[in-house]
Amino acid sequence: MFNKILIANRGEIAVRILRACKEWGIPTVAIHSDVDKNSMHVRLADESVCVGTHQPANSYLNIPAIMSAIELTNADAVHPGYGFLSENAEFAKILEDYKIKFIGPSSKLIKMMGDKIQAKLIAKKYGLPVIEGSEGGISDINEAKQIIRSIGFPILIKAAGGGGGKGMKIVNKEEEFENLFLTARSEAKKFFGNDEVYIEKFFQNPRHIEVQILSGKNRTIHLHERDCSVQRRHQKLIEETPSPILTDELRKDLFEKTVKMVSQIGYEGAGTVEFIYENNKFYFLEMNTRVQVEHPVTEVVTGIDIIKEQINIAFNGETSLKQEDIKPRGHAIECRINAEDASKNFQPSPGIIGMCHQPSGFRTRVDGSIYQGYKVTPYYDSMICKLICHGRNRTEAIQRMKRSLDEFVIEGIKTTIDLHKKLLDHKKFVSSDFNVAWLDNEKII
């Protein structure tokens, strides 16, 4: 196994990776910015290195500083977590050149699937249904207008080089198109360094379904699906597995096609293939070449430690699991707890946490990095922890989550805990009568 793993991340995912490394018996190195010196991942790691100031570009995205930390500590592998450099092909290539193992797919695969246009063409080649739209990137406004007239409104303009709602614009009529097209290109350039955009048919009431995969040189398996349709402005709030709306027949078809594509492209590691689902049909959305925020719901229903298996695949080139090993049990739900004031348009709420009591009990899990006295800064993503509850069925999982949210105490800052309580009580959530636009169109707070 690896001699030492450097964790190129922070917060709850860094702590999650640390735990997996400890269970493998692998020493760890935590990198951190100046404001994160007292963070939980720094406290738990065997070694730590400050790689810069609080701005992400100066620390967690600072490749030269991170390479120096690797050399200083003699780490022979890097786990990137999610976000930051996790899907940065340049960083993965540098590690490959220096014979440092990147715990994820090759730089070639990251680049190939990170390009949303190329990924769509690959998915289509290997038999996955894709969304109607442009075959490639569009820069000419007249060419774009011809495409939108052929597929009809509404349409979606999307950045080729990234996601998370950046560079994404919904167009309902032609008069809006030119202005939104130029705005999308400008945002894409700002956030991803690439102003290429593409056009797709916009779905009015879709669900967001994704398939977790583990893949090695000779074998690709799936760990079933997750339903991530409770979103606000394209950011997921609640995830669950299994999806309450899919039939076994649809699942079988989805899993077979997903595994076929992933195995055909020679993927190694953990990954997630995301789909839009509407009117009993699936459409390929994108592939994330990393571990997902919502991976714990899959872990608790399958009993598989995805992070440990990521490390195992990176070291051995093969997954130790076979498809028949994957036998999901029950239902799991995850709530992302953010340091935000939902009553004030989700305004970030930095500050020092006072009392901090985290729920526990039967089939209740908290993945986080917070503690009493921890300072939540305004410089990074506002998610501070995740609450995961497992039940024999969806009803029991919802009740367990409500009980656990009631136990959660975080003083000193505002959080989205009360929002989650309202969502779990909402008749549309209970009956699974919602889609990705639900929270944007209906006032909950």
The token duo for 120 is 């769509």
411, 339 Cβ separation under 8 angstroms? no
Instruction: Please pick, among 10, 185, 290, 365, the residue that the annotation labels catalytic.
Output: 290
Q: Could you confirm whether 363 is annotated as catalytic?
A: no
Encoded amino acid at 274, one letter: E
Cis peptide before 129 (omega within 30 of 0): no
Packing angle, helices 417-425 and 394-407, rounded to 10: 150
CA dist list (Å): 94 to 14, 66, 91, 101, 102: 21, 11, 5, 10, 10
Q: Which residues are catalytic?
A: 290
